[in-house]
């Protein structure tokens, strides 16, 4: 863990190394200044010698100035090193998250990742700053003091050795227990975070049902849980300070007792006893400093583990070593594919699927909830890897293809789709960062989005709120389709992407696709028969298995499930939603 | 749920704090924070102060003990022919007791401060959450989730170090400074003046540097919130990022704000880190100044000052400067805390939803004479309790809703609804149709007073909604929102969300009523299945069924339905449809309709365009009009 963390000091290594050096120089000055002070008193004031007072005063000021300069530089570099370290950690986590496969994303919660990248990193930053600032000072004076004790009286030093051993044992015990508690503290932070997140995003439900008090109670439970754990951890740590005091005070008494006898025996002078006391105090001071570091380290160890976990997470899917970046056409082959979600119940979501789709074909997919429709299409652009069998695009196994090339050639409009805060144009250019306004408009025309965008006050520059909450469901879907089209893919996959559009719009989108991008292989998942019946072939999925595979007419004749769906939908009539995109007014 | 956007020019990240501008300057914020801490922990603080005094004394005792040990015990022992260690043992025992007292006090101090610190943080978090629940919907529409989350964690966390360490440190320093200052004045007034001048200089530099770095600390917390908001948004859409191979851009964007955060953290800490060396060395300067001034005074013989006094004064001056330097060492955490507290207070100071309503909803029973009598238990019959003088009046809840000449705009300068007139009779079903932005959702948001109207009136059973207490008003209205939100907890808990005192049986009945029972029983643990992550393990249709069951268990007289447009498989869709239908039976229902069948069956269809009602009537009436509705229904232009 520490190795991984240290690696991310990166370009701030110089600052991290310089800090202790400057601080050391500052410490040297701090140690020397008292000597000059004593000269000032002895040779200046006590000697009634004004020039000496000026001389030593001047020297002292000079040293103070050097100490100041060192202090400021040290402070600057420590700030640079620790904040840079934190920035690097956030960057490393974020970068690795971007490499995550879908299965890795499923593993972490949003709120957990947020805590890791903020609270946990801030802890590490503070700990790092603390360590850099005191790592020289404390051990330096500790070792110096102990060595001096040995020089004065090896026998008396046994007291210190005993004390140190006792201290070490107690501290180890405390560390062990505290660090276990802190691990739980940060887990509880995730709970707190998700409590707030859940409440804020569902606030309309909360208010509609007047559940504010209930939510308060729920939150208080999470907050109190954090309180209890934190208090427990801190109380354990609080033991460490008095224990240290006790041991040091024990030393003082032991020194007094044995020291007195040694002096009487003539083995020690009174002056030496005075020095021993001075060193005990300085040992106490440095131990205090060390204990503060120790507290910070223990606290941040839990954070460190959580951060490193993200940084070192090996994505389930990585680019092949010698990626093939050539995809000739939009042919898709499923060769006896079976698939189970990792970390799931272990049940197969897909069983032995063997399908072969020609380039340029339009394929419809229909089936009930949990029949494996989304799982199936997620395999095409290698969002998940198959458990058995293989998927090939353009005749090549997806596992040999360059991921970026593959995903640019296979454009998926996900079922749970998201727009991001920014302008409409910004969102569209996710598909192609270099797309001109004309290209964006062209894509929007195909997706029947141009018409409502034109109606908006700022047109293509209209601001989209987080999650696209300020456009309707149907509009969001159309924008998502346009965004996917801008990639100019070989394969376009629409996973229930027009469900919120009315039948007429849906039909116009399909018509536009047929007219403007005929060569594109299209896979359309839908619940409405009307969306699918013109497809070249339709796949009926049931329980992760192929139940039917053929044209509309064929299935209508031979497939029971398909017949049932058709029967229900005929009697039910269509939707009555945002009719005629052209007519609707945007505001 | 759709959040109507009313200000497209709002900066990204929802950073407009128009309502809750900075709560004051740093001193006010810290004072306010102190008041909060003190209010609840006065006694703890008293004990802590006492502990600090005792600890300082015991520390002093151990320092002074050296001389006593040598002068009064060891030296006599060496001179004695027959050394008697008895007195030494006695004094060591005494010392041990004093030191033990010190240890106990220091432990007590730590434990108490932990309670104070964590207790204050807990209180602030819960107060903040409690207050947040009372804020109007517009607050949530205009703040990013990540930023709000950040306040509960990052901002509250800034207080930890300050309360736990800086406060006792300040107290400690205050005690030391006071004692020292008194001794200094006793020794020499002119020299004390020099000391004080230097102390003022220290205080001034600290304040000056503090002011400079505070700006950066403030920026740091804001950028931390931005990072938080950005991560929250991107992580939520991470799968889309993958699908679009947008990783590089996402990283680039992140690195920009990450670098900004680093910059302001660096600047803030850099300046704060200057404070300690500056003050430490100003202490040295003060030492030299006093040495020189004192020596000059002595040598010139103008002022009576002994050498011994000067030396003693110099020592005192050191112990005067040290606590000041110590306090300034805490400047970092104090500044950070003042910024964090400011952001906490900003939430606490947000104006809560106004609620001047005095009419309440009560359970009632019809007395033999036909009057209504309030009942303490659920009767199935609801009444409005109007607190008229001299005695309250009870009005039966029938669910008739009237909107009379209602005007509304999310912002004063942009009206979105004009002269809305609707008269919904009890048990009627009113369907809203119209394009996006026509104002369908907005109208429903006005009935339950998520937003308040600018002109006109809305009445329920003849009572103006503004005079109905908001919780009671909302309890009378059931809502099924277009986007379903479920909560972490069991299926049963989620249904019970509609009415907390519902028994398990009530919940199951409700689920049966709306067709949700079937799929729930097929879940691994049935009604006890735990849902997490907004019910991520359920399909869209199942989630909707739960939301409908939730409204059903609430059993409200009036219902607002926003039909979901998300795709459900045909079988589930039928279940949802039937569920909705059975829920609507016997209630006044407003429905934002997407399904043809829903619209056709409505008692009154209201066609909205650009915030105005352009047509209304039954399906057949409207078709006969050959107007907008006809156009929408047939999908053809005229």
Averaged pLDDT of chain A: 85
8 A C-beta contact, residue B379 and residue B107:
no
Task: Please enumerate in sequence order all residues whose Cβ is within 8 A of that of A62, keeping only pairs 6 or more positions apart, or say none.
Answer: none
What pLDDT score does B4 carry? 37
Q: Residue B29: exposed, middle, or buried by beta-carbon count in 10 A (0-12, 13-18, 19+)?
A: buried
Of B99, B436, B539, the CB nearest to A472: B436
8 A C-beta contact, residue B231 and residue A117:
yes
Predicted confidence band of residue B178 (pLDDT cuts 50, 70, 90): confident
What pLDDT score does A125 carry? 92
| Contact at CB, B224 and A118, closer than 8 angstroms | yes
For residue B428, the number of C-alpha atoms closer than 13 Å in the C-beta half-sphere is 16
Token pair of B81 as six digits? 């022919």
Predicted confidence band of residue B8 (pLDDT cuts 50, 70, 90): very low
Highest mean pLDDT among A159-163, A580-584, B428-432: B428-432
What pLDDT score does B1 carry? 34
Quick one: closest CA in A to B634, which residue?
Answer: A579
To probe the interface with B, which of A112, A239, A576 has the most B CB atoms within 10 Å? A576
To probe the interface with A, which of B104, B229, B239 has the most A CB atoms within 10 Å? B239
As separate numbers, helices (DSSP H) first and strands (DSSP E) second, chain A gives 21, 12
3-class SS of residue A563: helix
Give me the mean pLDDT over the B22-37 stretch.
Answer: 80
Quick one: closest CA in B to A265, which residue?
Answer: B78
8 A C-beta contact, residue A76 and residue A132:
no
With 60 as the cut, is the pLDDT of residue B13 above it?
Answer: no
Q: Residue A151: exposed, middle, or buried by beta-carbon count in 10 A (0-12, 13-18, 19+)?
A: exposed
- Least reliable range by pLDDT among A27-41, A180-194, A568-582, B16-30: A568-582
Give me the mean pLDDT over the A188-196 stretch.
Answer: 89
With 50 as the cut, is the pLDDT of residue B18 above it?
Answer: no
**Between B499 and B305, whose confidence is greater?**
B499
| Contact at CB, B479 and A208, closer than 8 angstroms | yes
Q: How far is B437 from chain A (nearest CA, A)?
A: 5
**Between B252 and B540, whose confidence is greater?**
B252
pLDDT tens for B235-263 read: 888 888 887 778 888 888 899 999 999 99
Whether pTM > 0.95 for this model: the answer is no
What distance in Å separates the CA atoms of residue B593 and residue B440, rounded to the nearest whole number?
9
The neighbouring-strand residues paired with B592 are B432, B562
Quick one: closest CA in A to B560, which residue?
Answer: A208
CA A339 to chain centre: 28
Of A91, A198, A467, the CB nearest to B255: A91
What pLDDT score does B535 carry? 67
3-class SS of residue A409: helix
Length of chain B: 638
8 A C-beta contact, residue A339 and residue A102:
no
Task: Please enumerate in sequence order all residues whose Cβ is within 8 A of that of A375, keeping only pairs 6 or more positions apart, or say none.
Answer: A339, A341, A349, A350, A384, A544
Of B66, B118, B295, the CB nearest to A44: B295
Distances (CA, A) of A284 to A139, A245, A578, B59, B553: 12, 7, 76, 11, 66
Which letter does DSSP use for residue A116 in this model?
A: I
Percentage of chain A lying above the pLDDT 90 cut = 29
8 A C-beta contact, residue B37 and residue B116:
yes
Angle at B239 between CA B235 and CA B243, to 5 degrees: 135
pLDDT tens for A368-380 read: 777 888 889 989 9
**Between A91 and A211, whose confidence is greater?**
A91
What distance in Å separates the CA atoms of residue A503 and residue A493, rounded to the nearest whole number?
19
What pLDDT score does A154 carry? 85
**Between B492 and B243, whose confidence is greater?**
B492
To probe the interface with B, which of A90, A127, A207, A425 has the most B CB atoms within 10 Å? A207
Predicted confidence band of residue A93 (pLDDT cuts 50, 70, 90): very high
What distance in Å separates the CA atoms of residue B327 and residue B319, rounded to the nearest whole number?
13
Q: Per CATH, which fold does A138-316 belong to? A: ABC transporter transmembrane region fold (1.20.1560)
Q: Give A129's contacts in chain B (Cβ within 8 Å).
A: 269
Of A37, A274, A420, the CB nearest to B70: A274
To probe the interface with B, which of A137, A209, A370, A458 has the most B CB atoms within 10 Å? A209
With 60 as the cut, is the pLDDT of residue B470 above it?
Answer: yes
Q: Beta strand pairing status for B558-562 and B588-592?
A: parallel
Sequence-ordered strand ranges (E) for A368-476: 388-393, 396-397, 410-413, 422-423, 463-464
Q: Which residue in the block uniquely carries the two structure tokens 């009870």?
A: B394
What pLDDT score does A345 carry? 62
What pLDDT score does B637 carry? 44
With 60 as the cut, is the pLDDT of residue B369 above it?
Answer: yes
Give me the mean pLDDT over the A82-86 stretch.
Answer: 94
Averaged pLDDT of chain B: 83
- Least reliable range by pLDDT among A504-508, B101-105, B629-633: B629-633
pLDDT tens for A520-531 read: 999 999 888 888
* Domain boundary assignment for chain A: 1-99, 138-316, 332-572
Query: How far separated are the first and last CA of chain A, in Å rounded?
Result: 54
Q: Per CATH, which fold does A332-572 belong to? A: Rossmann fold (3.40.50)
With 60 as the cut, is the pLDDT of residue B9 above it?
Answer: no
With 60 as the cut, is the pLDDT of residue A186 above it?
Answer: yes
3-class SS of residue A152: helix
Q: Does A332-572 match A138-316 at the fold level? A: no
With 80 as the cut, is the pLDDT of residue B632 above it?
Answer: no
3-class SS of residue B377: coil
Percentage of chain B lying above the pLDDT 90 cut = 24
- Kind plus residue range of the DSSP H or E element containing B384: strand B382-386
pLDDT tens for B179-228 read: 788 888 888 888 888 888 988 888 888 888 888 888 898 899 899 889 98
Q: What is the ipTM of this complex?
A: 0.81
Q: Give A111's contacts in chain B (Cβ within 8 Å).
A: 149, 232
With 90 as the cut, is the pLDDT of residue B298 above it?
Answer: no
**Count of A-B CB contacts under 8 Å:** 490
What distance in Å separates the CA atoms of residue A242 and residue B105, rounded to the nearest whole number?
9
| Domains delineated in chain B | 26-348 (1.20.1560.10), 360-396 (no CATH), 401-634 (3.40.50.300)
Q: Is the dihedral of CA A487, A490, A494, A498 positive or negative?
A: positive
What distance in Å separates the CA atoms of residue A17 and residue A4, rounded to the nearest whole number?
18
- Kind plus residue range of the DSSP H or E element containing B108: helix B86-133
Alpha-carbon radius of gyration of chain A: 35
Q: Is the dihedral of CA A298, A303, A306, A309 positive or negative?
A: negative
What pLDDT score does A90 carry? 94
Task: Please enumerate in sequence order all residues whose Cβ is within 8 A of that of A88, keeping only pairs 6 or more positions apart, or say none.
Answer: A8, A9, A10, A11, A12
| Contact at CB, A576 and B9, closer than 8 angstroms | no
């Amino acid at each position: 863990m520490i190795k991984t963390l240290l690696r991310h000091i990166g370009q701030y290594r110089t600052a991290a190394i310089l800090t202790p050096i400057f601080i050391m120089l500052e410490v040297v000055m701090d140690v020397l200044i008292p000597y000059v002070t004593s000269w000032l008193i002895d040779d200046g004031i006590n000697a009634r010698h004004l020039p000496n007072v000026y001389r030593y005063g001047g020297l002292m000021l000079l040293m103070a100035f050097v100490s100041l300069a060192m202090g400021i530089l040290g402070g600057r570099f420590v700030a640079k090193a620790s904040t840079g370290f934190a920035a690097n950690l956030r960057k490393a986590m974020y970068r690795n998250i971007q490499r995550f496969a879908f299965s890795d994303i499923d593993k972490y919660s949003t709120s957990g990742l947020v805590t890791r990248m903020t609270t946990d990193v801030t802890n590490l930053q503070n700990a790092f700053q603390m360590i850099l600032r005191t790592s020289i000072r404390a051990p330096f004076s500790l070792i110096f003091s102990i060595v001096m004790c040995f020089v004065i009286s090896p026998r008396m030093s046994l007291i210190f050795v005993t004390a140190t051993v006792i201290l070490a044992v107690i501290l180890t015990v405390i560390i062990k227990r505290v660090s276990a508690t802190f691990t739980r503290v940060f887990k509880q932070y995730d709970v707190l975070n998700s409590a707030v997140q859940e409440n804020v995003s569902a606030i309309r439900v909360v208010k509609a049902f007047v559940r504010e008090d209930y939510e308060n109670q729920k939150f208080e439970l999470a907050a109190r849980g954090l309180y209890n754990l934190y208090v427990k951890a801190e109380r354990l740590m609080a033991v460490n300070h008095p224990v240290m005091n006790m041991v040091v005070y024990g030393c003082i008494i032991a020194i007094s007792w044995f020291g007195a006898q040694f002096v009487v025996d003539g083995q020690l002078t009174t002056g030496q006893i005075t020095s021993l006391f001075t060193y005990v105090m300085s040992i106490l001071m440095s131990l205090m400093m060390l204990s503060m570091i120790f507290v910070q380290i223990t606290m941040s160890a839990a954070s460190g583990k959580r951060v490193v976990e993200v940084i070192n997470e090996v994505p389930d899917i990585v680019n092949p070593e010698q990626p093939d970046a050539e995809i000739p056409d939009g042919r898709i082959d499923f060769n006896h594919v079976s698939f189970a979600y990792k970390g799931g119940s272990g049940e197969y979501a897909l069983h032995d699927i063997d399908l072969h789709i020609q380039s340029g074909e339009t394929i419809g997919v229909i089936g009930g909830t949990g029949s494996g429709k989304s799982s199936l299409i997620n395999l095409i652009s290698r969002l998940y890897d198959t458990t058995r069998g293989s998927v090939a695009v353009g005749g090549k196994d997806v596992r040999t293809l360059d991921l970026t090339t593959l995903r640019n050639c296979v454009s998926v409009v996900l079922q749970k789709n998201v727009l991001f805060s920014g302008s409409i144009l910004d969102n569209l250019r996710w598909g192609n960062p270099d797309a001109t306004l004309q290209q964006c408009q062209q894509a929007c025309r195909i997706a029947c989005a141009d018409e409502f965008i034109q109606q908006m006050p700022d047109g293509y520059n209209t601001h989209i709120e987080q999650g696209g909450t300020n456009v309707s469901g149907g509009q969001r879907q159309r924008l998502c389709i346009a965004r996917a089209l801008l990639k100019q893919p070989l394969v376009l996959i629409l996973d229930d992407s027009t469900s919120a559009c009315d039948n007429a719009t849906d039909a116009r989108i399909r018509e536009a696709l047929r007219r403007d991008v005929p060569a594109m292989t299209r896979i359309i998942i839908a619940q409405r028969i009307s969306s699918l019946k013109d497809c070249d072939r339709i796949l009926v999925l049931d329980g992760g298995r192929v139940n039917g595979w053929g044209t509309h007419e064929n299935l209508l004749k031979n497939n029971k499930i398909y017949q049932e769906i058709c029967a229900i939908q005929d009697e039910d009539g269509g939707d009555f939603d945002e009719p005629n995109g052209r007519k609707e007014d945007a505001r | 749920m759709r959040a109507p956007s009313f200000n497209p020019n709002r900066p990204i990240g929802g950073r407009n704090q128009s309502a809750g501008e900075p709560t004051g300057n740093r001193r006010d914020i810290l004072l306010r924070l102190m008041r909060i801490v003190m209010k609840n922990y006065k006694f703890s603080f008293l004990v802590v102060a006492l502990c600090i005094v005792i600890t300082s004394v015991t520390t002093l005792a151990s320092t002074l003990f050296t001389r006593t040990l040598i002068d009064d015990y060891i030296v006599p022992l060496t001179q004695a022919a027959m050394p008697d260690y008895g007195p030494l043992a006695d004094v060591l025992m005494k010392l041990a007791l004093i030191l033990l007292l010190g240890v106990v006090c220091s432990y007590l101090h730590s434990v108490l401060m932990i309670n104070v610190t964590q207790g204050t943080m807990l209180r602030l978090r819960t107060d903040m959450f409690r207050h947040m629940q009372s804020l109007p919907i517009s607050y949530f529409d205009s703040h990013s989730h990540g930023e709000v989350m950040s306040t509960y964690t990052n901002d509250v966390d800034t207080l930890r170090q300050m309360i736990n360490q800086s406060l006792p440190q300040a107290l400690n320093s205050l005690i030391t400074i006071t004692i020292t200052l008194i001794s200094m004045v006793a020794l020499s007034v002119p020299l004390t003046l020099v000391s004080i001048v230097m102390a003022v200089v220290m205080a001034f530099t600290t304040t000056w540097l503090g002011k400079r770095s505070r700006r950066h600390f403030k920026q740091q917390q804001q950028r931390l919130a931005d990072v938080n908001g950005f991560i929250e948004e991107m992580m939520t859409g991470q799968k889309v990022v993958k699908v679009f191979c947008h990783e590089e851009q996402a990283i680039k964007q992140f690195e920009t704000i990450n670098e900004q955060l680093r910059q302001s953290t660096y600047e803030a800490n850099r300046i704060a880190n200057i404070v300690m060396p500056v003050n430490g060395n100003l202490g040295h300067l003060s030492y030299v100044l006093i040495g020189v001034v004192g020596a000059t005074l002595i040598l010139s013989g103008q002022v009576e000052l002994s050498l011994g006094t000067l030396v003693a004064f110099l020592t005192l001056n050191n112990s005067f400067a040290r606590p000041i330097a110590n306090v300034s060492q805490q400047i970092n955490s104090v500044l950070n805390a003042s910024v964090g507290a400011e952001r906490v207070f900003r939430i606490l100071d947000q104006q809560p939803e106004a609620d001047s309503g005095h009419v309440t909803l009560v359970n009632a029973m019809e007395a033999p004479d036909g009057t209504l009598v309030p009942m303490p238990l659920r009767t199935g019959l609801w009444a409005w309790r109007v607190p008229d003088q001299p005695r309250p009046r009870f009005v039966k809840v029938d669910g008739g809703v009237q909107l009379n000449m209602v005007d509304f705009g999310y912002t004063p300068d942009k009206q979105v609804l004009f002269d809305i007139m609707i008269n919904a009779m009890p048990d009627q079903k009113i369907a809203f149709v119209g394009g996006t932005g026509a104002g369908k959702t907005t109208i429903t948001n006005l009935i339950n007073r998520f937003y308040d109207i600018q002109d006109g009136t809305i009445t329920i059973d003849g009572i103006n909604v503004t005079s109905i207490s908001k919780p009671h008003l909302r309890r009378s209205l059931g809502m099924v929102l277009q986007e379903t939100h479920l909560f972490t907890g069991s299926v049963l808990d989620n249904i019970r969300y509609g009415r907390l005192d519902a028994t398990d049986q009530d919940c199951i009945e409700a689920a049966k009523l709306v067709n949700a029972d079937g799929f729930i029983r097929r879940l691994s643990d049935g009604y006890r299945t735990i849902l997490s992550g907004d019910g991520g393990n359920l399909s869209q249709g199942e989630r909707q069924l739960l939301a409908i069951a939730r409204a059903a268990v609430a059993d409200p007289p009036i219902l607002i339905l926003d039909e979901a447009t998300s795709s459900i498989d045909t079988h589930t869709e039928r279940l949802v449809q039937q569920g909705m239908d059975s829920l609507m039976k016997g209630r006044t229902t407003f429905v934002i309709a997407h399904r043809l069948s829903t619209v056709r069956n409505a008692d009154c269809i209201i066609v909205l365009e650009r915030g105005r009602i352009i047509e209304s009537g039954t399906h057949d009436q409207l078709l006969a009009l050959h107007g907008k509705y006809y156009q929408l229904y047939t999908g053809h232009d005229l």
